[in-house]
Chain A
Amino acid sequence: MATPSPVKPEVSTARSSTPPVSWAWILQRFSGLLLLVFLAGHLWVEHFMNARVDVIASRLTHGIYDTLDIGLLIVVVYHGLNGLRGILKETLEGRAVWLDYTLSCLGIVTVVWGVDILWAFWYHRPFLIF
């Protein structure tokens, strides 16, 4: 805080002057709130109910844990990549022609990968070979 700034508005939140209200903007907040529930649940389960691989396997035969894992997976991938999209949009300024396409593909691949990992528990075999 060495040099005093000429611009020091009374009111400032951690973003540029007017927040652009778009679907991406709204869904970033909405997914953030959903994540609060999913992530708190996940961290609780993994720290206080986690044990050996057979325990995880038997846990995953109860729908509630699959729902927790897949819900967390989808929401965290959406929120993280949508956040990354915002940062890259700001940095690349219009040079980001393939950005949405690339990040959507990355998101879909990540969710398929995550489901594939859990799939092993339901059918005792890999869905794809990774």
Chain B
Amino acid sequence: MPHKHTRGYKAFWAHRVSGLLILGYLYLHLCLLSAVLLPSGSHDFNAVAKVVEQPIFIVADLVLFAIILVHVLNGLRLIVADFGWMIRENRFAIWLSMAVGAIMVLIAVLTLMPHLVG
């Protein structure tokens, strides 16, 4: 665990929390899939599909995408650092990965806009 005031402390926690959140999502995901996809399941897939097309779920989808990007881009930065690259430029690398993430979220928002506004 990095020292509280060292660089990368916030990135460390962001990585840990985002990883755990996505792991939690995975189990939610499997619960929902087994409820709608198994013949023995209790819900009708197409009825659930209608519900998750509502704007609130589109927003949730974008939030999930953002959380995934935090973990993925930071994870890539860590792997790059393990090869000994961009370690001194660590602050820049964190900043760069989050900027790339922000752009990708923006593209996702624009792509899903038709579903968001109706």
Contact = CB atoms under 8 A, between A and B. Distances in A.
Given A5-B5, A14-B12, A130-B38, A83 B19 contact: yes
Interface in B63-93: 65, 68, 72, 74-76, 78-79, 81-82, 87-88, 90
Interface residues of A, number: 45
B5 A129 contact: no
Contact of A53 (B6, B11, B45, B79): B45
Interface in A2-28: 3-5, 7-16, 19
Contact residue range for chain B? 35 or more
Interface in B1-58: 1-9, 11-12, 15-16, 19-20, 22-23, 26-27, 30, 33-34, 36-40, 45-46, 49
A12 B34 contact: no
A129 B72 contact: no
A120 B19 contact: no
A80 B45 CA distance: 27
Contacts of A87: 16, 20
B75 A32 contact: yes
Given A10-B88, A14-B11, A120 B2 contact: no
Contacts of B2: 12-16
A19 B12 CA distance: 14
Contact of A13 (B3, B5, B76, B87): B87
A14 B78 contact: yes
B40 A129 contact: yes
A84 B23 CA distance: 9
Contacts of B46: 52-53
Nearest to B19: A83
A68 interface: no
A65 interface: no
Interface of B: 1-9, 11-12, 15-16, 19-20, 22-23, 26-27, 30, 33-34, 36-40, 45-46, 49, 65, 68, 72, 74-76, 78-79, 81-82, 87-88, 90
Given A11-B90, A15-B1, A114-B30, 9 more contacts: A1-B5, A5-B6, A13-B8, A15-B78, A53-B49, A56-B37, A80-B26, A83-B19, A126-B38
